[in-house]
Structure 1
């Protein structure tokens, strides 16, 4: 039996008739606007949870109208939502270990020569296995905020999207970049560019007005979600690399979690596995079509020149110690070097595991097999 069959069969076996009095409905705040891919994935996860629980546990998905990403921590903690799609860099002091793991994702390029097409799927698997099964201190950060960690949904690889060709280290110097999280800001500075602190949603107008020359994002997010297809002229693939993985996409209010019996917890984690798989798989699977659409509009794609690759590799060789020192001094993560050393072999493992994955269901089943099946449903999160 393949992984997809096992996943589907496992869900189907739990379906049964339940009276409305037995059913419990949870509110899921996703934070994206209507029509976003994450909303569709959340709706699919909700169906899996309902089926796996035999209708005893249902989930109603809410868009950004309920909670924005900036409001998500307080909203989950205080019970405005039962489940929420977290973006932990909004709350750096509360989730430093999750953010540390996210802040080293450019190291993916040191794991394999060609990881761009599987980066989000691999990084998500490694990050979830580390946090859930190997990092009690990580889980304690969520517990302190009255939350239970149940998964992440990373993006696809980050590339350089510009309004002019930027393929060499020399061409990057002096460019103004919307670079987002810490590692990409540090890369930009190290290579002589100037990071500009704006949100991804502001990138389109900023590029049109000449405030930025480039943005560092996944192609799907940049070109489609933020509509930069109307401003970008050139894409340099593979640099800076890395993924955005500080996205605990199905974080649960701890009081709600404690009220769920083991059957409902098991059912919920089936949905969490699907959500964690859907976000990166869909992002990766849409890349080819989006780049082709961009080409149809005259947008050119490039490979980075040797000097840009070399400069990026030199930056990465130094940045690991920078990350460890930053999180140790600024956020009190005294064991940051040990965390990074323990995470590296898991990342190598997951780069191998996700090769050949052909569907969201297969990826969700792999996450179930390698991570979720090893959770003690009765005691996890208590």
Structure 2
């Protein structure tokens, strides 16, 4: 019996008190793997977010699918809110088997995962229409990451296996205490940014980036330390920033493509084939659950922003063009600053760009509309209910089924 698998009695029903998937039973992992010979397996899952967040909804759906396909033999022990591993030590902790599975973000571990961090500069490529850009980016990122040898080798060298790559945020935008829609209005504005990529983009259009942690953000915004928060609508709700900001502007700062549902590679490799197949088949449920919860927050923002006194603003073409021009120069320079381990930087960038382009049309064809850029277009996009089942079926068939462990 392989020592990397801890075989224990299955957890009680409380650990599997899972929310039923809104997408219906057809999206569960198909019970095609032979689970009859499996002994009980418990997987320790770590998350820096709480148990009401997007990743938690993804894990609820994922765990439900895994439990059904395994006949209850594969169960999970959950460690939320950084109780086992925080955001900055997640990659190292999962690699060192402190947890078997966790949410690994390459931009939080740039020295440990330099290729994944470098690839985050490609976060501006998807469609800027919501939710097409989100679903396009997430499909393309999964497709590309699961097929890229450089990223696989980097992960393996840190004893990680990237099971569920995720384009977590389509784009970062602005919630401000004053209108910021033009280059002139952006000049000198103090803006909270969440990392180097977004700080540089803010500087490129004349803003002054201010690094505030999530814990500092509400007070900093309330006290006027920053004029704007550069995050996205779910965070404006989560951090209660919509009680302060009056102007929402869907600026097109880069999105976040560095999220991964990752496993300890030694643990993954030591699992029986049937267990790996079950976990693999269920992964689209994690991705769909994450986005479904995210979309709930967007809908709430669209429905309730007006009652908070928030006005939807239209980005001036000059500001939009300046952001896009800077992003283009960053992507064009990537091949010249690639970290060690990227075998062909130009090909890496081109392959990811091609994947993004390749996945736009299939997403739109599944009925997710691309809209215009007026304030009413954005509000309508957020207020619309989206059925994720066509997207789940598509990525399962076109991405995960084609790479199923065998």
Give aligned pairs, total: 363
Q: Counterpart of 2:162? A: 149
Residue aligned with 2:59, SS: helix
**Given the alignment of the two structures, is residue 217 of structure 1 paired with residue 231 of structure 2, yes or no?**
yes
2:245 paired with 1:232? yes
Aligned to 2:89: 71
TM normalised by structure 1 equals 0.87
Q: Is the 8 A contact 2:160 2:263 kept in 1?
A: yes
Shift of 1:48: 0.8
1:102 is matched with: 120
- Alignment partner of 2:391 out of 335, 338, 363: 363
1:207–1:68 distance in 2 versus 1, CA, 3 Å:
same
Correspondence 1:8 to 2:27:
yes
Instruction: Give the Cα separation in 1 of the matches to 2:215 and 2:34.
Output: 41
* CA separation of 1:61 and 1:361: change in aligned 2, threshold 3 A: farther
Pairing of 1:1-382 with structure 2 (within 5 A): 7-8=26-27, 11=30, 22-64=39-81, 65-108=83-126, 112=127, 114-133=128-147, 135-153=148-166, 154-221=168-235, 223-237=236-250, 239-248=251-260, 250-328=261-339, 333=342, 335-355=344-364, 356=367, 358-378=386-406
SS class of match (2:39): coil
Change (3 A) 1:61 1:352: farther
Change (3 A) 1:7 1:229: same
**Alpha-carbon shift at residue 138 of structure 1 (Å):** 0.5
Cα distance, 1:332 vs structure 2: 6.2
| C-alpha separation in 1, matches of 2:244 and 2:183 | 22
Does the Cα contact within 8 Å between 2:179 and 2:247 map onto a contact in 1? yes
Report the CA distance shift for 1:300/1:315 in structure 2 as closer, same or farther (over 3 A). same
Using the TM superposition, give the Cα deviation of residue 5 of structure 1 relative to its aligned residue in structure 2, in angstroms: 7.8
Q: Calculate the aligned-residue CA RMSD, in Å.
A: 2.4
CA deviation digits over 1:303-323, x for unaligned, max 9?
A: 101221222232233221233
Residue 301 of structure 1: CA displacement? 1.0
Label 1:76 to 1:282 Cα distance change in 2 as closer, same or farther (>3 A).
same
Secondary structure of the corresponding residue to residue 106 of structure 1: coil
Quote the Cα distance in structure 2 between the aligned partners of 1:318 and 1:77.
Answer: 34
Q: Contact conserved, 2:33 with 2:277, CA < 8 A, in 1?
A: no
Q: Report the Cα offset of residue 296 of structure 1.
A: 0.7
Change (3 A) 1:143 1:15: closer
- The alignment partner of 1:244 has SS state of coil
Higher fraction of helix = 1
CA separation in 1, counterparts of 2:95 and 2:85? 12
Q: Deviations over 1:191-216 (max 9, x none)?
A: 11111122234221111122211121
Matched-pair contact (CA < 8 Å) for 2:281–2:404: no
Q: Which runs of 5+ in 1 are unaligned?
A: none
Distance of 1:333 and 1:281 partners within structure 2: 34
